[in-house]
Amino acid sequence: MLLQAKKTNASVDVTNGKIEGSLEMTDKLFGTDGVRGEANTWPMTAEMALKLGAAAGRYFRRDHQDHRVVIGKDTRLSGYMIEYALTAGFASTGMNVFLLGPVPTPAVGYLTHGLRADVGVMISASHNPAKDNGIKLFGPDGFKLSDEAEAGIEALMAGGVEPAAPDNIGRAKRFEDARGRYVEYAKTTFPYRGRLEGLRIVLDCANGAAYRTAPSVLWELGAELVLIGVDPNGYNINDGCGSTQPGTAAAKVLETGADLGICLDGDADRVVLIDETGHVADGDQIMALIATRWAQEGRLAGNTLVATVMSNLGLERHLNANGIELKRTGVGDRYVVEAMRQGGHNLGGEQSGHIVMTDYATTGDGLIGALQFLAGMVETGKKASELARVFDPLPQKLINVRYKAGQAPLETDSVQDAIAKGERRLGSDGRLLIRKSGTEPLIRVMGEAMDPVLLDSVLDSVVKAVEVATEDQANL
């Protein structure tokens, strides 16, 4: 999440025996997925990372001698700066730092728990361009932090952190076995009776965190690979490749006659798939396939899939027709995981390609999600095109309307009236979802309907009402 807040003054002071600073913020530091922003601009500065590392280290220190933190990253140039600043902060509070290097986000969750670390860190801005970066924190159970833990860390950052005594300062070292451990684990999630011999796969790693791990897993399982996005240079992550730009991979699937295309994002917690005809399957289709298969096998906990309000209405109707419940959450994979843990569910995700399977991982895992799809191909003998189109999605359209800071167009009577009228027009054959963006000053106007002409008409009416309200507020 790109923070809307601006930092007006920052300094780090250790002269009084505490690591503290004057941080004047107009909004909380943590967004829906950690801290994120443009590198070397607040909040993604070395100063902030130092202070965050110290506060998180102090917050998570437990009553034992070996205080551990694992730090992974993707391939952005700014990762070095953030990595070393965090390391200094953690070490200053007595935490021993294990540097994992470039690894997928789910590998950090896996190794945080597996190495009995007190806290885990992933340095990544996921699918964002190379100029951005972010910091995601994991608790000792390998799951992303709760709102309460993030608030506690922010409180420590604001109040100052007591550093460790000189003889208790932490050490830092490279953990050379990180990739190998994750590779071996990922392979165990693929059914033992299945192998990938005879399958040609186009694999797009987005020049990101999985550029070495994902090829290793698929090749060792027997696949023939055509690789894209495995030459990171610090600047090209997500650039014309990856899950948000699958066109290159789709063309390569057709060119090489591949059986499947797999597109990961920069930190490999998302995936979209491409069948042999070049058709792209998003997270909704992947979740539909896995949920249906698991339900038939008696593996779907609570016979429920957890997804966000953005998932297509066609997914919900398909699940209901198969006796499966869809539980919706707010936008963001952390909200999906929270609902899964609270309800005891083991499958969830987002339309964007976060596929969360708590039987295997503590967060979205693009590679393991793809392996579940491949398991379906191997076990059924069906082509990707027969599995990747599980349901017919309703036409879905999203329009963004920009507004100025301080304005509240959604709260006006005229906009609320337009939304109510639109919902009545759509009836049971569609739905509207109107919300503020969590990353920039935009009103996101999304709708679905069986009749695309009706959908366009309804959305145009709502968008016009939002634009007029925005103009009216600007003239006040």
Q: Where are the domains of the chain?
A: 35-176, 182-387, 396-474
C-alpha–C-alpha distance, residues 425 and 93, integer Å: 59
The strand pair at 355-357 and 430-436 is best described as unpaired
| In contact, 340 and 306? CB cutoff 8 Å | yes
Of the options 3.40.120.10, 3.20.20.10, 1.10.10.10, 3.30.470.20, the CATH number for the domain spanning 35-176: 3.40.120.10
Q: How does residue 173 score in pLDDT terms, banded at 50, 70 and 90?
A: very high
Q: Over pLDDT 90: what percentage of the chain?
A: 83
Q: Over pLDDT 70: what percentage of the chain?
A: 93
pLDDT at position 152 over 50? yes
Scan for tokens 């539909």, then name that residue.
Answer: 288
Residue 402, phi then psi, degrees to nearest 5: -80, 140
Task: Give tens-digit pLDDT for 305-344.
Answer: 999 999 999 999 999 999 999 999 988 888 999 999 999 9
Amino acid identity of 371?
A: L
| In contact, 245 and 204? CB cutoff 8 Å | no
Amino acid identity of 148?
A: E
- How many other CB atoms are found less than 10 A from the CB of residue 184? 13
Burial class (CB in 10 A: 0-12, 13-18, 19+), 22: exposed
Question: What tokens appear for 200 in the block?
Answer: 């040609």
The mean pLDDT of the chain is 91
C-alpha–C-alpha distance, residues 57 and 68, integer Å: 9
Can you identify the CATH homologous superfamily of domain 182-387? Alpha-D-Glucose-1,6-Bisphosphate, subunit A, domain 3 (3.40.120.10)
Average confidence (pLDDT) over 150-154? 94
Strands (E), 167-217: 172-174, 200-204
381 alpha-carbon distance from chain centroid = 31
Average confidence (pLDDT) over 402-417? 90
Taking CA 296 as the corner, what is the angle to CA 290 and CA 299, rounded to the nearest 5 degrees?
A: 70
Quickly name the fold that domain 396-474 has: TATA-Binding Protein (3.30.310)
Average confidence (pLDDT) over 205-218? 98
| In contact, 176 and 360? CB cutoff 8 Å | no
Average confidence (pLDDT) over 385-401? 93
pLDDT at position 32 over 80? no
Residues 6+ apart with CB under 8 A from 293: 376
Scan for tokens 């359209």, then name that residue.
Answer: 397
C-alpha–C-alpha distance, residues 314 and 336, integer Å: 19
Task: Give tens-digit pLDDT for 259-310.
Answer: 999 999 999 999 999 999 999 999 999 999 999 999 999 999 999 999 999 9
Q: How does residue 439 score in pLDDT terms, banded at 50, 70 and 90?
A: low
Active site residues: 126
Give bridge partners of residue 2 from the DSSP assignment. Answer: 36
Average confidence (pLDDT) over 179-206? 94
Q: How does residue 18 score in pLDDT terms, banded at 50, 70 and 90?
A: very low
Which of 193, 138, 155 is closest to 51 using CA atoms?
Answer: 155
The answer to whether the 182-387 and 396-474 domains have the same CATH topology is no
C-alpha–C-alpha distance, residues 310 and 470, integer Å: 24
Which of 29, 84, 94 is closest to 58 using CA atoms?
Answer: 94
pLDDT at position 89 over 80? yes
Q: How does residue 65 score in pLDDT terms, banded at 50, 70 and 90?
A: low
C-alpha–C-alpha distance, residues 205 and 212, integer Å: 9
